[in-house]
Structure 1
Amino acid sequence: MAQTPRRGDSTRRTFLAASGGAALAGLAGCLGETGDGDDNGGDAVRFILNPAEEQTDIIEEYTPMKEYLEDETGADIELIRAGSYVETLEALDANQAEMADTSPTAVPGGEGFADVLGMRTAFGGPLYFSTIITTPDSDIESVEDLEGESVAAGALMSFSGTLAPATMLSDAGLDIGTFPQGDAEDLEIQTAGDHDTAREQMVNDDTVAAATTGAFASAPQIPQEAFDEYEEFVEHSAEYDDAGSALEDGADELQLLDVSEPLPRAPIMARSEWDDPVREDIVEALLAAEEEDLIPEDVDDDYELWFTGIEEADRDDYEPVNEVLDELGLEFEDFEEE
């Protein structure tokens, strides 16, 4: 089994060609899906939302946050669900949105046209984790056992669902070839649209041996004691207390293979050229938001936002993202040209 050497700056390659073409072509259509049916014109602050999970109604989840910001600032906030991770960032570059909820990978990708307004937190924590999982009835006991197997991953640009787990596979000694721009050598990595889909592909398809997801999409189906050897997860993850909770409701149990190093949670970003005075008011309101502002008591459990606050952050906080991109040999420098 060959182990791929770490691929640093000398071998960095352009990434968007593999993920952006079809998505960017459909950008205008995607941005028509809004929370209130309004057009993107006028004075509304267009807030594009990242489709991290397939089964969630993200417009519904963000509505309390929208209403809070409107009450605090007097702005008219228009929520728009994106069709892909790429579109959240491209919307800022193309003046199709003022703000975006997007992936950590958008921070290096948006340099020059997108600013970090803040970092999402969950129950006080700004860090989250990737997991590599399998099913309890599989023959897979460790990440190394995935040689020759098929693995379902999240969206191609997903930091916790795909990119960070790719480095975990490589660090375990598996040759991931040119993934995510090309094929892995020692195993097959199939990218899905989101974390939930990757998990369900593994559960429902016997040919898929494992999946890589953010812990928020896997921990409720993993017995809590499986995480106890991962001290940083126990200390910092908002998902630890909830681990195994879905098993009580009859969900399929998942087997944990590995947990990543701590990752910075996703940012709220803004178009750099957006200079309306309301921007400063919105940033102030975002950083002051309490959990009850984002998740009111009367919100249905199925529509709860998956973060509880936003803390001040800048590009330096996302250095771990750059490290992952460097290891994978990825480059976003021509994003604006796409």
Structure 2
Amino acid sequence: MADKRANTKETRRKFIATTGLATTGLLAGCIGGDDDSSDGGDSSDGDDSSDGDDSSDGGDTTEDTTTKIDWVMNPAQEAIEITVQYSPLFEYIESEADVEINGIPTASYAGTAQELRRASDGDRVFADVSPGAVAQIPDQIDVTGVRVAYGAERYFSLITTTADSGVESLSDLKGKTVATASQTSVSGTMFPLLMMKKAGLDIGGAPGGKPEDFDIRASDHTTARKQMIKDDRLAAAGTGAFSTAAHVPKEQFEEMSQDFVDISVEYEGAGERDPQLDLLAVSDPIPRAPIVSNAAWEESIKDEVRNLMIEAPKEAYQHESESSLAEELGVDPSLLDKEESELSKQEKADVQLVDDHSLWFSGVKEANKEYYNPIVELGNELGLAWEEL
């Protein structure tokens, strides 16, 4: 296990930040413009009476010119501490530009979209969003770029079932309950709905309303997978491939989707996790999720940070080391060097937690709103009113 993990992480975790641990905080509050008034805003009036004797030279007064930027984030997996996951990128940006990034986690894709809807002219905001956000709130955002995962700009949605469910095809899901990600998740809900619709199932008013031929239990990608495995009342799960592909044997992908074999970064690790899941459907390739910014924000620092992300070396998207990441997560680093057979069930979960906190993308490539036209078309096929989601 140790050798396999070392191979899969060869391109990860070498960047050593010059500024130390990122200053992001788990702040779940609303976005607000930061005019730096708390960092020297009173110096212009010269009324600091305690230093009155030195007021004539003003030599000791320094103004903090650091630009404060809010970064709104939504975890794709339930157990992820996303500010920890994103810390390498934040550290890199802060080391290269005179900015301080304030991480604002949200509970869902919808929550992230709502924060962006609230952003005004004075708000300096970046966000990682679902591809659906480009269709959902096009007037509120500018696309910074598409997140690229180890060379791949596109990813996949899967519908899977447990090996003993008795479900052999999508048509068998009629009258059953399907676990999905959040309502506006492209790979965890919308593409699964489209695949079921094409298989002849009546999706009714989903995702905004109730399907006619089956029921949905919405949560997130990780929860959908775990609940399906544990609860036999759930016949299948719709998720992004990053959540379930490792449970599906490679030969099932080879039989169903050559695109997945050729494009997906998840194909290499397919079938490596227990329990085995069976593949019911694979989507067409989907444009990967973008990083976006507040469209009403117009400052040169916005373009500077955007260019930093696009031009950054791969090391900027990697933690300093797996050991330091493990320590930050409260996991014993020595577990990372053991073979899988030497680990207890809890220790395996701890090692997986460290793996899952690797930043899932290895770069940002230039993209614009037109790049996400396939998502707009997806909405049209589902009859969505994006603005109502």
- d(CA) in 1 for partners of 2:250, 2:315: 27
- d(CA) in 1 for partners of 2:319, 2:232: 41
Q: Which one of the candidate residues 265, 272, 281 is aligned to 1:258?
A: 281
1:203 is aligned to 2:257? no
- d(CA) in 2 for partners of 1:54, 1:111: 27
Q: Which one of the candidate residues 221, 227, 246 is aligned to 2:253?
A: 227
Q: Which one of the candidate residues 79, 101, 124 is aligned to 1:77?
A: 101
Equivalent position of 1:150 in the other structure: 177
1:61–1:40 Cα change, 3 Å: farther
- d(CA) in 2 for partners of 1:290, 1:129: 26
Equivalent position of 2:27 in the other structure: 34
Q: Which one of the candidate residues 278, 282, 288 is aligned to 2:301?
A: 278
- d(CA) in 1 for partners of 2:190, 2:388: 19
- d(CA) in 2 for partners of 1:119, 1:186: 35
Q: Match of 1:215, as an amino acid?
A: A
Secondary structure at 2:210 match in 1: coil
- d(CA) in 2 for partners of 1:191, 1:93: 23
Q: Which one of the candidate residues 305, 310, 320 is aligned to 2:374?
A: 320
- The correspondence of residues 278-317 of structure 1 with structure 2, limited to 5 A, is 278-299=301-322, 300=325, 301-302=354-355, 303-317=357-371
Secondary structure at 2:183 match in 1: coil
1:64 is aligned to 2:88? yes
Q: Note the C-alpha offset of 1:244.
A: 1.6
Equivalent position of 2:55 in the other structure: none
1:238 is aligned to 2:265? yes
- The correspondence of residues 46-125 of structure 1 with structure 2, limited to 5 A, is 46-95=70-119, 98-125=125-152
- d(CA) in 2 for partners of 1:309, 1:131: 24
- d(CA) in 2 for partners of 1:334, 1:196: 26
Q: Match of 2:226, as an amino acid?
A: E
Q: Match of 2:167, as an amino acid?
A: I
How many residue pairs match? The answer is 298
> Greater Rg, structure 1 or structure 2?
2
Q: Match of 1:72, as an amino acid?
A: E
- d(CA) in 2 for partners of 1:313, 1:236: 19
- d(CA) in 1 for partners of 2:75, 2:85: 12
On the 8 A contact 2:124/2:297 being kept in 1, the answer is: no
- d(CA) in 1 for partners of 2:312, 2:137: 25
| Higher-RCO chain (CA-CA 8 Å, sequence separation at least 6) | 1
Q: Which one of the candidate residues 129, 132, 135 is aligned to 2:159?
A: 132
- d(CA) in 1 for partners of 2:284, 2:177: 23
Q: Note the C-alpha offset of 1:161.
A: 0.1
- d(CA) in 1 for partners of 2:388, 2:231: 37
Q: Match of 2:108, as an amino acid?
A: S
Q: Note the C-alpha offset of 1:207.
A: 0.7
Q: Match of 2:304, as an amino acid?
A: D
On the 8 A contact 2:68/2:124 being kept in 1, the answer is: no
On the 8 A contact 1:91/1:97 being kept in 2, the answer is: no
On the 8 A contact 2:25/2:83 being kept in 1, the answer is: no
Runs of 5+ in structure 2 lacking a partner?
Answer: 1-23, 37-66, 326-353
- d(CA) in 1 for partners of 2:129, 2:91: 20
On the 8 A contact 2:25/2:102 being kept in 1, the answer is: no
- d(CA) in 2 for partners of 1:123, 1:51: 19
Question: TM-score when scaled to structure 2?
Answer: 0.73
Equivalent position of 2:51 in the other structure: none
Q: Note the C-alpha offset of 1:39.
A: 8.9
Q: Note the C-alpha offset of 1:124.
A: 0.5
Secondary structure at 2:158 match in 1: strand
Q: Note the C-alpha offset of 1:334.
A: 6.1
Secondary structure at 2:99 match in 1: coil
Q: Note the C-alpha offset of 1:324.
A: 1.1
Q: Note the C-alpha offset of 1:189.
A: 1.6
Runs of 5+ in structure 1 lacking a partner?
Answer: 1-30
On the 8 A contact 2:318/2:358 being kept in 1, the answer is: yes
Secondary structure at 1:115 match in 2: strand
